[in-house]
Amino acid sequence: MRKLVLILFFISYCQTKAQTTAIADSLYATGNYAKAINKYAEEGSVKGALQIARAYNAIGNSEKAITQYRSVVEKNPDFQIASFELGKLLVKTKDYDAARKRFAKLVSETKDNPEYYFYLGEIYAEIDQPASSIIAYKNAIKNDSTHLRSLFKLAKYFVIKNDKNQALHYIEKGLNFYPDDVSLINLKALTHFNDNAYEEAIPFFERVLALGETKEYVYDKLAYCYYKNWEFEKARANYKKMLEIDDGNSDTYFKLAEAYRKDKVLDSAEIYINEAMNIQKPVFAQGYSSLGSMAREREDFKTALDFYKRAHAEDPSDPHLYHNICTLVDRNYKDLNLKLEYYEKYLEKYGKLRDRQALYYTTMVSKRISQLKEEIHLNAE
């Protein structure tokens, strides 16, 4: 009789516990996390303890969630799902040292799980250890050649490093499994773009747009590719798409103007430069410089010189603008001493600049100064 009572009590206990679990699971599934936590606490199982940690995480109480996860892992060191979720939460809360130790332990216990390596790679990237992050991402795809996020991270890293061959290696690996992945196709387009292979980049930027990634930067890159490929009408069409997204960006108007100017449609170019300058407050040097370039193409050198002087007044730090003034004075005035004065002022203002463009101009200006001095000397004789 006593044995029967114990059996009935045990059956009743199990039914009550199962009912408590079912209620807790239902509360959790419907987002009633506070009540779910109380029910799981009544249940007192390992699964219930894990669900309490998840519930705290779901309501945004990371501190209590981490404490609960740690309690579960300390009592059940082989419970990998709890350790994995704890590691991800440590990454989310930017406790990278603890997260690194957690995932290093997981990797040592289970060497064939690509997710563990991926998160280890993310942590190393966050703490600025790129070499270690690359090794971790490579281990991820070694264990799962289709691990898209690791393939993307590797490809992106090598795109940024301008390592075309390595970038394309991982991009192609990813596209073999995910041929319509927009992020990988975009990286492929950027790889060619960064390599100045604009014609090769065009179909991939077009593919990105066709897949619905109609972002301003995509139109911008594609337009520039068309521009460099002498397809000016297509370049203009894409710049105009950018203006449909943001008609208040003066840079887009300048680029559109340049696409017209390069195609010798100077009247339209001038319209868009003036539009860009109307948007800019205050007017910057770029607009005046572009107007100067077009006046120069029309051989209206007096107007060109006026525009370059205005541009230089807006941005006196740019040696290119003052060099344009010097060359126009040199071309259009007969007074050798006046020409020399402008070139010597160039050296005075910019002769100590060490960037490549400034050094080039300095070399040309110095050579022209020598020529002018020789001419002045010969004329004096």
Instruction: List the chain domain ranges.
Output: 287-381
Kind plus residue range of the DSSP H or E element containing 34 = helix 33-43
Q: Please indicate, yes or no, whether the overall pTM of this predicted structure exceeds 0.95.
A: no
Going by the DSSP 8-state scheme, the letter that residue 6 receives in this structure is H
* Domain 287-381 listed as CATH 3.40.140.10: no
User: What span, in angstroms and rounded, lies between the C-alpha atoms of 273 and 266?
Assistant: 10
pLDDT tens across the length of the chain (381 residues): 555 444 544 454 444 455 667 787 888 889 889 898 988 888 888 999 999 999 999 999 999 999 999 999 999 999 999 999 999 999 999 999 999 999 999 999 999 999 999 999 999 999 999 999 999 999 999 999 999 999 999 999 999 999 999 999 999 999 999 999 999 999 999 999 999 999 999 999 999 999 999 999 999 999 999 999 999 999 999 999 999 998 888 889 999 999 999 999 999 999 988 888 888 755 567 888 888 888 888 888 888 889 999 889 888 888 999 999 999 999 888 899 999 999 999 999 998 888 888 889 999 999 999 999 988 888 776
Closest CA relative to residue 200, chosen from 233, 228, 175: 228
Q: To 10 degrees, what angle do helices 356-380 and 336-350 make?
A: 150
Kind plus residue range of the DSSP H or E element containing 296 = helix 285-297
